[in-house]
A = this chain, B = another copy of it.
């Protein structure tokens, strides 16, 4: 957003061609710089670019993202309310710490929220809801296979996370509660850090069949067996956290 006397080729205010050259949009489709800062910061935190407890000095962020203080501060405040960063007054921001207790609190809260949302979805779910779940699981499986076939880049990992979130989102899509959906999304992001190899170590893929667990959940949901679907979903999340806990304790202390 050329600001300081940089040459700016802009034809009046009617630049209708502004439409979609988003391919190289420096702001990634964000309307404001604060929004862009929020997205990039969140990404960098959940992918481990910024480690837990690391202080987020504004000068550093300013250089890294090429922004001023205002949009950064705005983004950091949003992230604080999402528990990804913490702040002490007059002492700045830092990446939220991780701990086994926090992980389990997030996990159990997530189970509470999503199981209720899933129950409601199963009650209200229509054909579109079913189709959405089937589609999301299919796309997830494709991405899992692509990764298993050797695609280990950061982009592939992000795509995998997105597909995974989409599947869980599809399950609860018909719960008809803005709050449950938003909380589910937020808790997903919160738990994302605990699945990072840098934190949890590389959990042996052989120790479980995630794809099978997903399929079981889907089938119970589509068959409208609420209790079974909810139990499977809770077990699915608890299994992940149990494995992560073991990896954290054996791996790096603290």
A-side residues, CB < 8 A to B, are: 31-32, 35, 70, 73-74, 77-78, 81-82, 89-90, 102, 105-106, 108-109, 112-113, 116, 177-180, 183
Contact = CB atoms under 8 A, between A and B. Distances in A.
A97 to B, nearest CB: 12
A89 B178 contact: no
Instruction: Tell me if A's interface is mostly helix, strand, loop or mixed.
Output: helix
B74 A109 contact: no
B73 A105 contact: no
Contacts of A113: 112
Nearest to A35: B89
State the 4 A-B residue pairs at the shortest beta-carbon distance, nearest first.
A31-B89, A81-B81, A109-B179, A77-B77
Contacts of A179: 105-106, 109
A108 B117 CA distance: 12
Contact of A178 (B81, B105, B112): B105
Contacts of A31: 89-90
A178 B103 CA distance: 12
Contacts of A73: 70, 74
A32 to B, nearest CB: 5
